């Protein structure tokens, strides 16, 4: 242990090596606070690629596990420490190195905060779409590690689609450059994409070339109330079937709506069973919203209210973004599922979730990136009640089983982490698991990077 700290200090400034347990303890876990987490031996906060290489070389020399971290806003425990590990926090590597409007790329360090990048590129007329709910806190490195999504994915896709190239420090300290800064490129196997969503288990991302889009026109939002989730899902299917391209298409069930009203006094309509929000950032969003309003009414909406301006639109989105904290406030703790199903199966997924909640006598609020079929059934429970905690975990698992049954995945955008580790093999099957373990072995033969996550 003394060896470890001494060796780390040889290549890091004093303030970049934290050993006080009161301080390092704060780095033990991400937002999935109830997931198991160990006590780190040390937390390091490098500012340069060379310092990260030093950390990895030291870890390899002493066979100490390394757990990379961004802002720890993840929801699956993927950034949770293991006992005696080096927590490698990349938040101090937070420079935006380049924004190029002709090539439509940004070159960034991993600790850049998502919203900071979004604002910086917007000043140049550009747009970095991925927008996880934690965008004011979360880092680009963390977004890459978990392959984060957000509200805009239904039109713009997830983080993976915006990562063109990476600089990666391997477990043994070697430097790897993957991908490119060009719009296209197919030379060799796509290692870039392999790192996206790998939860720090293959290497440490120390730089990224990101693709940007032109900034779209300001979006306009519509809210529609439905007498049942089935009719709301029917509207979603009609909207997508007709070829509309909403910039977001979100669903909140009654439980979520009530929780938000309780927390934020937002004045959302409590009598509704399902609230649908659609937005367009097209040249004529009002016309698109009118067409969608018609489809909502045809599907049974009892009330359809297009926002009149950007301020009203923002209010609606603010209410939507408040859902997870609002549901957390119901019982103190939540376990958030992230099941994504084909959107044609969305109604079955939501109805099935309600049945599971009833079976276990629990409150499960559902908020969904409905246009993507990506649901977040949020199990509310009192962590101090062992029986309720057990029922919470069982219902959480049963919701994943239902997702797989409906042709879906256990995680649309939050990642596997600790929370869904047992479920990964069920989704991938034995051949997939064997190959994925083989890949882990190629990149990290000593198994030092984020052990206990993924493979």
- Subset of 234-293 contacting a second copy (CB under 8 A): 237, 240-241, 243-245, 282-284
- DSSP, res 284: S
How many Cβ atoms sit within 10 Å of the Cβ of residue 20? Answer: 9
The two tokens of residue 452 are 């206990």
Among 92, 181, 258, 391, the residue binding a second copy under the rule CB under 8 A is 181
386 binds a second copy (CB under 8 A): no
Shortest gap between Cβ of 432 and a second copy (angstroms)?
A: 6
Nearest to 409 by CA among 352, 336, 342, 334: 342
Among 171, 410, 419, 449, the residue binding a second copy under the rule CB under 8 A is 410
67: enclosing H helix or E strand: strand 66-69
Instruction: Determine the Cα–Cα distance for residues 455 and 174; give it in Å rounded to an integer.
Output: 21
Phi and psi of 375, rounded to 5°? -100, 150
Task: Provide the sign of the torsion angle of the four alpha carbons 110, 114, 119, 121, taken in this order.
Answer: positive
What are the residues whose beta carbons fall under 8 Å from the beta carbon of 14, sequence distance 6 or more?
none
202 binds a second copy (CB under 8 A): yes
Radius of gyration of the chain (CA): 22
185 binds a second copy (CB under 8 A): yes
Q: Which is nearer to a second copy, 386 or 430 (CB)?
A: 430
Give one DSSP letter per residue of 228-278, joined into a string.
Answer: SHHHHHHHHHHHHHTT---SEEEEEEHHHHHHHHHHH-----TT-SEEEEE
Shortest gap between Cβ of 174 and a second copy (angstroms)?
A: 5
Instruction: Determine the Cα–Cα distance for residues 86 and 131; give it in Å rounded to an integer.
Output: 29
408 binds a second copy (CB under 8 A): yes
371 binds a second copy (CB under 8 A): yes
Instruction: Determine the Cα–Cα distance for residues 196 and 432; give it in Å rounded to an integer.
Output: 17
Shortest gap between Cβ of 252 and a second copy (angstroms)?
A: 19
Q: Which is nearer to a second copy, 73 or 272 (CB)?
A: 73
Q: For a second copy, which stretch binds (CB under 8 A), given 1-9, 58-66, 178-186, 376-384?
A: 178-186
214 binds a second copy (CB under 8 A): yes
Among 186, 265, 311, 384, the residue binding a second copy under the rule CB under 8 A is 186
20 binds a second copy (CB under 8 A): no
Shortest gap between Cβ of 15 and a second copy (angstroms)?
A: 31
Q: Which is nearer to a second copy, 96 or 175 (CB)?
A: 175
193 binds a second copy (CB under 8 A): yes
Q: Collapsing DSSP states into helix, strand and coil, what is residue 325?
A: helix
Nearest to 238 by CA among 219, 253, 224: 224
Shortest gap between Cβ of 428 and a second copy (angstroms)?
A: 5
Among 141, 173, 365, 373, the residue binding a second copy under the rule CB under 8 A is 373
Instruction: Determine the Cα–Cα distance for residues 33 and 328; give it in Å rounded to an integer.
Output: 12
Contact code string over 329-348 relative to a second copy, x by CB under 8 A: -----------xxxxx----
């Amino acid at each position: 242990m003394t060896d470890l700290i001494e060796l780390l200090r040889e290549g890091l400034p004093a303030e970049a090596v934290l050993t006080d347990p009161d301080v390092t303890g704060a780095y033990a876990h991400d937002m999935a606070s109830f997931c198991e987490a160990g006590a780190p031996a040390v937390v390091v906060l490098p500012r340069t690629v060379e310092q990260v290489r030093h950390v990895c070389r030291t870890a390899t020399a002493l066979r100490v596990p390394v757990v990379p971290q961004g802002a720890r806003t993840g929801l699956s425990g993927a950034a949770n420490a293991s006992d005696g590990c080096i927590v490698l926090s990349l938040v101090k590597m937070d420079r935006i190195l380049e924004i190029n409007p002709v090539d439509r790329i940004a070159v960034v360090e991993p600790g850049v905060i998502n919203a900071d990048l979004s604002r910086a590129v917007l000043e140049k007329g550009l747009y970095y779409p991925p927008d996880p709910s934690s965008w004011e806190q979360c880092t680009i490195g963390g977004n890459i590690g978990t392959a984060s999504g957000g509200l805009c994915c239904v039109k713009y896709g997830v983080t993976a689609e915006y990562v063109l190239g990476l600089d990666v420090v391997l477990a043994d300290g070697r430097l790897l450059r993957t991908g490119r800064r060009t719009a296209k490129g197919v030379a060799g196997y796509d290692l870039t994409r392999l790192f996206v969503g790998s939860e720090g288990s293959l290497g440490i991302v120390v730089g990224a070339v990101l693709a940007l889009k032109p900034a779209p026109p300001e979006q306009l939002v519509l809210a529609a109330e439905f007498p049942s989730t089935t009719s709301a899902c029917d509207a979603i299917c009609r909207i997508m079937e007709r070829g509309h391209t909403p910039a977001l298409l979100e669903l909140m069930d009654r439980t979520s709506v009530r929780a938000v009203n309780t927390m934020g006094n937002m004045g959302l309509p409590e009598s509704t069973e399902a609230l649908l929000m659609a937005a367009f950032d097209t040249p004529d969003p009002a016309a698109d919203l009118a067409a969608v309003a018609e489809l909502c009414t045809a599907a049974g909406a009892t009330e359809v209210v297009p926002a009149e301006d950007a301020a009203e639109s923002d209010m609606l989105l603010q209410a939507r973004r408040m859902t997870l904290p609002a549901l957390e406030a119901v019982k103190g703790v939540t376990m958030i599922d992230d099941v994504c199903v084909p959107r044609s199966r969305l109604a079955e997924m939501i109805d099935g979730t309600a049945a599971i909640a009833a079976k276990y006598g629990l409150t499960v609020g559902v908020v969904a990136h409905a246009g993507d079929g990506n649901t977040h059934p949020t199990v509310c429970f009192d962590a101090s009640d062992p029986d309720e905690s057990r029922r919470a975990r069982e219902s959480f698992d049963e919701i994943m089983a239902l997702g797989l049954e409906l042709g879906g995945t256990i995680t649309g955008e939050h990642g596997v982490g600790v929370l869904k580790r047992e479920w990964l093999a069920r989704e991938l099957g034995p051949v997939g698991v064997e190959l994925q373990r083989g890949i882990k072995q190629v990149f990290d033969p000593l198994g030092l990077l984020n052990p206990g996550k993924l493979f």
